[in-house]
């Protein structure tokens, strides 16, 4: 093996370890008592306990926050896919003099700090009587998912060879058929990454959800932050268990999405 390739693999192994180690350490701490966590020397050998996880799953606020997060994020991603992908395809394949401005506007939504987005929306939802409700959270999250999906999907559609679409037009396909049967399947892998990124983005959103909810529409990140206490009595085991619960849905979503794409491409190859 060449030294350059060996060094590259070593760097990838170190980077992978640095990325996975915090997750493994958090999972281990979720199974520890508080006494085993706050020791000066980290304990790798300990008696595991399920008390932290049972405590988390037994709280109504956690289950409500999980439900709110799943409904709000899932609905927002679905709306982002339904509205963002066709809009991205239209900008990529039918450019006009406003195409550049549209792309800049979509990207500028990510330039703004969350407070600049949350404060005007909070005033709007208070005036229309939708503050601290799931519909308000879904609409707000949809603004984020639509912008992110469009931003990432435009170059994905631009990378689809125009010759394939032109051949489909010659065969009698209409614009909508070309979009559904040609452009989407060819750019599926890149689009899946855009959808997954948008889901993770809104799932981890904290400040906007904090400002748009007070009790009824609290999401899981807000509930998890409320489990901490001030002073020396921080329940580290419970906090780590809440982080594990917070991390599972995105991982499951990515796993299901990648498995679905792999099965689709295997069928195409056979």
Encode pLDDT of 131-188 as tens digits: 999 999 999 999 889 988 988 888 888 888 888 888 888 888 888 888 888 888 888 8
pLDDT digits (tens, 9 = 90+) for 189-207: 888 888 888 998 899 888 8
The DSSP H or E segment spanning 154 is helix 134-158
Is residue 238 scored above 70 in pLDDT? Answer: yes
CA dihedral 52, 57, 62, 65 (to 10 degrees): 130
pLDDT digits (tens, 9 = 90+) for 36-91: 887 777 777 788 888 888 888 888 888 898 899 999 999 999 999 999 999 899 88
Give the count of alpha carbons within 13 A of 140, CB side only. 34
Q: Tell me the C-alpha distance between 224 and 235, whole Å.
A: 12
- pLDDT, position 231: 47
- Band (pLDDT 50/70/90 cuts) for residue 260 is low
- Look at residue 26 and give its three-state secondary structure: helix
Compute the Cα dihedral for 134, 135, 136, 137 and give only its sign. Answer: positive
Pair 220, 68: CB distance under 8 Å: yes
Is residue 2 scored above 80 in pLDDT? Answer: no
Pair 237, 34: CB distance under 8 Å: yes
**How far, in Å, are 67, 138, 176 from residue 146 at the CA level?**
22, 12, 20
Say what the pTM is: 0.81
- pLDDT, position 135: 94
Q: Tell me the C-alpha distance between 121 and 257, whole Å.
A: 31
Q: Which two tokens stand for residue 15?
A: 């980077």
Question: What mean pLDDT is predicted for residues 15-38?
Answer: 84
Where is average pLDDT lowest: 26-30, 47-51, 255-259? 255-259
- pLDDT, position 81: 93
Q: Tell me the C-alpha distance between 263 and 188, whole Å.
A: 13
* Structural domains present in the chain: 61-269 (1.10.3720.10)
**How far, in Å, are 20, 24, 46, 162, 185 from residue 268 at the CA level?**
33, 36, 49, 21, 10
Residue with the bigger pLDDT between 103 and 218: it is 218
Angle at 83 between CA 82 and CA 86, to 5 degrees: 90
Computed over every residue of the chain, the mean pLDDT equals 83
Question: Which letter does DSSP use for residue 49 in this model?
Answer: -
Ramachandran bin of 249, using left for φ above 0, alpha for ψ from -120 to 50, beta for the remaining angles: alpha
- Give the closest residue to 206 by CA, choosing from 182, 188, 222: 222
- pLDDT, position 259: 65
Backbone φ and ψ of 92, nearest 5° = -75, -40
Tokens 């206490």 locate to 229
Q: Tell me the C-alpha distance between 114 and 122, whole Å.
A: 12
């Amino acid at each position: 093996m060449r030294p350059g390739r060996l060094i590259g693999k070593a760097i990838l192994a170190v980077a992978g370890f640095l990325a996975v180690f915090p997750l493994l350490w958090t999972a281990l701490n979720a199974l520890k008592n508080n006494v085993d966590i706050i020791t000066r020397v980290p304990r790798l050998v300990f008696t595991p306990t399920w008390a932290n996880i049972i405590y988390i799953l037994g709280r109504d606020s956690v289950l409500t926050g999980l439900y709110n997060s799943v409904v709000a994020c899932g609905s927002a991603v679905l709306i982002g896919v339904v509205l963002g992908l066709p809009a991205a395809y239209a900008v990529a394949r039918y450019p006009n003099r406003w195409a550049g401005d549209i792309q800049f506007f979509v990207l500028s939504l990510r330039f703004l700090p969350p407070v600049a987005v949350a404060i005007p929306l909070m005033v709007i939802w208070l005036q229309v009587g939708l503050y601290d409700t799931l519909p308000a959270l879904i609409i707000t999250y949809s603004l984020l998912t639509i912008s992110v999906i469009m931003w990432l999907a435009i170059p994905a559609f631009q990378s689809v060879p125009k010759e394939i679409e032109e051949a489909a037009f010659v065969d009698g396909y209409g614009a909508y058929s070309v979009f559904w049967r040609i452009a989407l399947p060819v750019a599926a892998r890149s689009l899946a990454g855009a959808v997954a990124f948008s889901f993770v983005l809104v799932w981890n959103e904290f400040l906007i959800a904090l400002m748009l909810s007070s009790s009824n529409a609290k999401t899981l990140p807000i509930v998890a932050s409320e489990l901490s206490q001030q002073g020396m009595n921080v329940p580290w085991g419970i906090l780590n268990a809440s982080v594990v619960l917070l991390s599972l849905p995105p991982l499951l979503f990515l796993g299901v999405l990648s498995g679905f794409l792999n099965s689709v491409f295997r069928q195409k190859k056979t």
